[in-house]
Amino acid sequence: MFDKLESIETRYEEVLELLGKPETASDQNQFRKLMKEQSDLTPIVETYRKYRDAKQTITDSLDILETESDEELKELAKEELSEAKKAVEELEEELKILLLPKDENDDKNVVMEIRAGAGGDEAALFAAELYRMYCRYAERNGWKTDLVSLNEMGLGGMKEVVFMVNGQGAYSKLKYESGVHRVQRVPVTESGGRIHTSTATVAVMPEAEDVDIEIDMNDCKFDVFRASGNGGQCVNTTDSAVRLTHIPTGIVISCQDEKSQLKNKDKALKVLKSRLYDLELQKKQAAEAAERRSQVGTGDRSEKIKTYNFPQGRVTDHRIGFTSYRLDSILDGDIFELVDNCIAADQAAKLSAQSK
């Protein structure tokens, strides 16, 4: 591990030197690439340097205890030794986590799809609440959400909603949300006061870049139609909505959120690229089934991952056995604790697999 850390520190210094050269600044692509590399390496190098300082403090403290006769100085050395030993243990664990292989998609924007499952109108209402929850979570992170398509139902429910979340590290946090979300509560339409169980499915896909996936436009069929539902006069009276059909896979994407047909077409293509990229990722993950099972957040889309129980005011993540009794705050977008626990469980599983 320490040989690897030494080489990372050497590369970090090389990157800083390259960033200081005028020829680097004149090449924007190279400059952005190096800035990204520096950003990735900085936490590792800073933690490694803290680790080295703590190790040096241990050596210096032991030397004082062996050579000095001054009791006050020796007592101070004992305190420093104890603190440094504790710091070394903590920093070693931190370094192990920082050196875990990084998901190449972690820094990407995401395309999210929420679909009402079993439960009729109640499932559609729950899907709408999940959509609001993720929009609020994105807002709390300083990310931007961009609606792609929406299929509304009565009472404010959503049969299906597709939207993008744009922001640094969006996929690294939201990827743990893929799966079946279950709600248990008394529906507004239930006169007898009985608790019903309904579901909604969440799919989280990294936004595909041009280098990730290429689309043959001959395989794409575009249809235009008049947008329906909420919208201004211009949206509802012109053929601005776009329906994109990818002939080889049969994937159909509708986009009517923008007034411009061109912008709707661009959004539809982004979603198609992400879906095709996601299909490739799923094939790759299926080939690595054993590793996939040991990790949190990369399970099958049909897996029941969370239950939102309204009578008890709790949310339970079944994958990691974690329960929070902050249902209202969570539905208002405060899902940080749930996400952080998933990340910690994922890292622990990877560390355990690595040590075998």
Q: Tell me how many domains the chain contains.
A: 3
CATH of the domain at 273: 3.30.160.20
Same structural domain, 319 and 194: yes
Asked whether residue 105 is assigned to any structural domain, the reply reads no
Write down which residue in 241, 257, 283 finishes a domain. Answer: 283
d(CA 44, CA 95): 7
Where is the domain boundary, 264, 283, 302? 283
pLDDT, residue 294, reads 46
CATH number (domain holding residue 33): 1.20.58
Q: Do both 19 and 72 map to the same domain?
A: yes
Instruction: Decide if 234 is inside a domain.
Output: yes
User: Which of 249, 283, 317 is the last residue before a domain boundary?
Assistant: 283
- Please check whether residue 104 lies inside any domain of the structure: no
| Domain, as residue range, for 241 | 217-283
Q: 71 with 127, same domain?
A: no
Angle at 246 between CA 240 and CA 252, to 5 degrees: 60
pLDDT for 291 equals 47
Q: Tens of pLDDT along 120-161? A: 889 999 999 999 999 999 999 999 999 998 999 878 899 999
Within-domain flag for 186: yes
User: Would 133 be classed as within a structural domain?
Assistant: yes
DSSP 93-146: HHHHHHTSPPPTTTTS-EEEEEEE-TTHHHHHHHHHHHHHHHHHHHHHHT-EEE
Let me know whether 63 and 190 are in one domain: no
What is the Cα–Cα distance from 204 to 164, expressed in whole angstroms?
10
Q: What is the pairing mode between strands 179-185 and 158-166?
A: unpaired
Assign residue 161 the CATH number of its domain: 3.30.70.1660
Give me the pLDDT at residue 27, please: 87
Q: Are residues 304 and 271 in the same domain?
A: no
In tens digits, the chain (356 residues) has pLDDT values of: 788 899 999 999 999 999 999 888 888 888 888 998 898 899 999 999 999 999 999 999 999 999 888 889 999 999 999 999 999 999 999 999 898 888 888 989 999 999 999 888 899 999 999 999 999 999 999 999 999 989 998 788 999 999 999 998 999 999 999 999 999 999 876 667 789 999 999 999 999 876 678 888 999 999 988 776 554 444 444 678 899 999 999 999 999 877 888 889 989 999 999 999 988 888 877 765 554 454 555 445 567 999 999 999 999 999 999 999 999 999 999 999 999 999 999 998 888 877 66
Q: What is the pLDDT of residue 326?
A: 96
Q: What pLDDT, on the 0 to 100 scale, is given for residue 233?
A: 42
Residues 124 and 199 in one domain: yes
What end-to-end distance do the CA atoms of the chain give, in Å?
A: 16
Instruction: Tell me: do 196 and 300 sit in the same domain.
Output: yes
pLDDT at 350 (0 to 100): 86
Element (H, E) at 236: helix 233-237
Same domain, 190 and 307: yes
**41: in domain:** yes
Residue 211 resides in a domain: no
Nearby residues of 210 by Cβ (< 8 Å), 6 or more positions away? none
Same domain, 308 and 337: yes
pTM of the model: 0.76
Question: Would you say residue 103 lies in a domain?
Answer: no
* Same domain membership, residue 82 and residue 223: no
Distances (CA, A) of 226 to 148, 239, 327: 15, 4, 39
Distances (CA, A) of 146 to 70, 105, 138, 344: 67, 19, 11, 29
Q: Are residues 168 and 304 in the same domain?
A: yes
Same domain, residue pair 200 and 327: yes
